[in-house]
Amino acid sequence: MTRKAMINATSSRALQNAALPTPPKLAMGDMGEAGGKDALASLNAAVEELKALAIQPLLRRAILALNREDFDTGGKLAIEVLERDEENGVAWYLLGIARERAGDFPSSVKAYEAALQLLPSHAEVANDLGRLAYRMGMHEQAEKLFRHYVDHAPDRPEGVNNLASVIRDRGRRGEAIDLLKTAIMSRPESHMLWNTLGTILIENGDLESAFSFFSEAVRLDPKFGKARYNLGQVKLGLGDAAGALEDCEEALKRVVTADDRAMMTLARSSYCLALSRLGEGWDDYEARLSPQFADLTNFNIDRPRWKPGDKISGKTLLVVGEQGLGDEVLFANVLPDVVRKLGPDGKLRIAVEGRLVSLFQRSFPDAEVTAHTTHVWATRPLRSAPNTDHETVDLWTPIGSLMREFRRNLEDFPGPAVPPAREGFLTADPKRVAHWKKLLKTAPPGPKVGLLWKSLISKDARQRYFSPFDQWAPVVKTPGVSFVNLQYGDCTEELARAERDFGVKIWNPPGIDLKKDLDDVAALCCAMDQVIGFSNATLNLGAACGAPTWLVTAPAAWTRLGTDRYPWYPQTKVFSPAQTGDWGPVMAEISEDLAALVASY
C-alpha cells in the first residue's frame, strides 16, 4: 500500500470499533502510553527544525491536541499535514499515536511503520510501535523494536522495562529478572522497573516478594496507578478481595488513559463479584467489550443489541457465546431463565462453539442452535453467526451480558434440585450415559472417579491457579478408587508418572477424543460416581449436566461469587486453599473425602 493510499484509508476509517470482550488480566506492567509527554516534547523540538514552515502550525496544533487527550482532532490535523507532505515522518508518528489511542490498531501499525522509516533516529517511534506490537500479541516483533529503542536510548529506563516485559511473556523469565535487577541497581528510583519485576514474581507464584516490589513502586511514586492496581492483584491472590477492590478504586482515580481504565474496570468487576456485589460486578464486566482491548473478538451482527430492561417476551433473541469454551458453558446457566422470559411466543437462537451445538440443541429443544464462526479481520478476530437468519432477529447479545439482568443477586441462581428433579441445566445424551456406565464396569473395581488437573491455556500467570501434577499424589494414592482420565490434551507424561511414582494406573476411556467429542465427554462425566478437578472446559461440561463434582479452585476466585460454594452448579463441592499455591491441605482433604466415598460405595 502506498503512503497516499494509507492516508486515504485512515482518513476514511470510522473513528469507532466493534466491541472486544476480554477476560481480566492478572497483572500488568507499565510500558508507558502512546505519545507520552516526553515523546511529544521531543516532537515539538523536531518541528522547529522543519523547513516547511507552512505545516509547522498544523503539527504544533496536533501535538497540543494529543497533549489534551483529543485524539480525534490530533489525528485529523496529522492527516491534513500528510495530504500536503506524505513524507513527513512527524505527522505519521502523530497519526499513529492518535489512531492507537482511539483504538484503531491496524491503522496505527501502518502509521508507526511509515514514521519509523522516515525517522529512524527517533527512538520513541520504535518504542511506541513495539508497545503496540506487544499489545497485539506480536511479541517477536516487539522484542526487536524494544532492542532498537534500548540501543538508541540506553539511558531511559522504559527501554529496559519494555524489553524485559516482552522477554517475560516469551517465556524467558529468568533473563527478564536478571535484566531488571541490573537496571534497578543503577536506577533504584525507577518505579516502573520495581513494578515490572513484581509482575514476573507474581506469575512465578511468589506473592510475598511481588507484594514487596509493588509496595516499593507505590512508595517511589504514590500516583503510580498501575502499581497500586497490581498490589490489589496480589491481595486477591492472598484471599483479600476487599483489599484488592480498595486498591483498584485508588488506582482508577489516577488513571489517565482509556485502555488502563478499561483494564482496571474489568478487574474491579471480578473483585465486586468475589465480594458478592453482583449487580456492580456485572455492570463493570461490560468493560470487557471496550475497543481498547486489542487481542480478542469483535462481533459482526448487524441487529439491535439487547440491554437490561428490554422487553423480550414474544421476540426473537440471538445469544452468542463468548470468551472460552468453558465460559460459554458457565454462562449458559442463565438460558433457562431467558427461555421463560421469552414466553411461548418468543424464540431463542443460540450461537455456540461448534463442538457444543448438539449438546445445547438437546438441552434447549425449542431453541435454534448453530455454530458461531470466527475469522481474522484487520488483525482482529471477528465473530459472527452465519447460519442464523439475522433479518428475523429482534435483539442479540453476548451471553455474558445477560448476567446484568438475570443474575444480579445470589438468590437469582438456581438452588440444588429437589429429587426427582435432575441437577444441571444442560442435558447429556442418555444413551451415551448408559453406554459409558456399562463400559466403566470394565475398569478397575471401586467408585469411578474422573480426574482433571490442568487447562491447555495454563500459560503465564494463569498457571498459578492449577496445582502441579506431583501434588495430586495424596488423592491418586487413595486406596479403593478407580480413577478415570478425563483430562484432554497430551497427558502421557502425567499418566506414566502416576503409574511409575504413585503406583496407580489411571484408566483411559477408549473410543473418545476428550478434546473434540464434547457431547460424549458430557455423557462420560455423568456416568461417573465423582468428577474432581480444576475449572477447565470438561469440568464445566460435566457440572452443567449435573455430574457429581468436586471443584478445586484458588482462594477468592470471582466465579465463587463470594461464597464457599459454586452457585453456577449447586451440586458442586468446593475445595480451596487459604492462599494461592498452598495445595497440600486441599489435596489431603480431598483424599479424606474420597476415602469416605469408598467406604460408602
Chain centre to alpha carbon of residue 258: 18
CA separation for the pair 162, 149 (Å, rounded): 10
| Nearest-angstrom CA–CA distance, 37 and 42 | 9
Average pLDDT over residues 191-203: 91
Write the pLDDT tens digit of every residue in 517-574. 999 999 999 999 999 999 999 999 999 999 999 999 988 789 999 999 999 999 999 9
Report pLDDT for 484: 97
- Whether the pLDDT of residue 250 is over 90: the answer is yes
What integer pLDDT is reported at residue 438 of this predicted model? 97
What is the CA 127 to chain-centroid distance, rounded?
Answer: 25
Nearest to 558 by CA among 270, 247, 286: 270
Checking if the pLDDT of 198 tops 80, the result is yes
Residue 384 near residue 354, CB atoms below 8 Å: no
- Enter the pTM of the model: 0.78
Bridge partners of 549? Answer: 531
Torsion of CA 149, 154, 158, 161, to 10 degrees: 90
Nearest to 481 by CA among 467, 465, 502: 502
Q: Residue 11: pLDDT band by 50, 70, 90 thresholds?
A: very low
H or E element in which residue 368 lies = strand 368-371
The per-residue pLDDT for range 66-106, each reduced to its tens digit, is 777 788 888 888 888 888 888 888 888 888 888 887 778 77
Which residue has better confidence, 569 or 257?
569
pLDDT at position 422? 67
| Residues 393 and 320: beta-carbon distance below 8 Å | no
**Residue 340, exposed/middle/buried by CB under 10 A (0-12, 13-18, 19+)?**
exposed
Q: Report the chain's mean pLDDT, rounded to a whole number.
A: 86
Task: Inform me whether the pLDDT recorded for 399 exceeds 90.
Answer: yes
Cell numbers 482462594 correspond to what residue?
555
Statement: residue 2 has pLDDT above 60 = no
444: its cell numbers: 478397575
Render 257-311 in DSSP notation, one character per residue. Answer: SHHHHHHHHHHHHHHHHHTT-HHHHHHHHGGGG-TT--SS-EE---SPBP-TT--
Q: Is the pLDDT of residue 498 over 70?
A: yes
28 falls in which pLDDT band (50, 70, 90)? Answer: low
Reported as a pLDDT band with limits 50, 70 and 90, residue 292 is confident
Confidence of residue 120 (pLDDT cuts 50, 70, 90): confident
Q: Domains in the chain, start-ordered, CATH in brackets?
A: 310-408 (3.40.50), 430-600 (3.40.50.2000)
**3-class secondary structure, 316:** strand
Strand pairing class (373-377; 380-384) = antiparallel
pLDDT tens across 425-474, in order?
Answer: 999 999 999 999 999 999 999 999 999 988 655 444 445 556 688 889 99
Rounded Cα gap, residues 98 and 101, in angstroms:
5
Q: How far apart are CA 401 and CA 321, in angstroms?
A: 10
| Gap between the Cα atoms of 337 and 87, Å rounded | 59
Confidence of residue 33 (pLDDT cuts 50, 70, 90): low
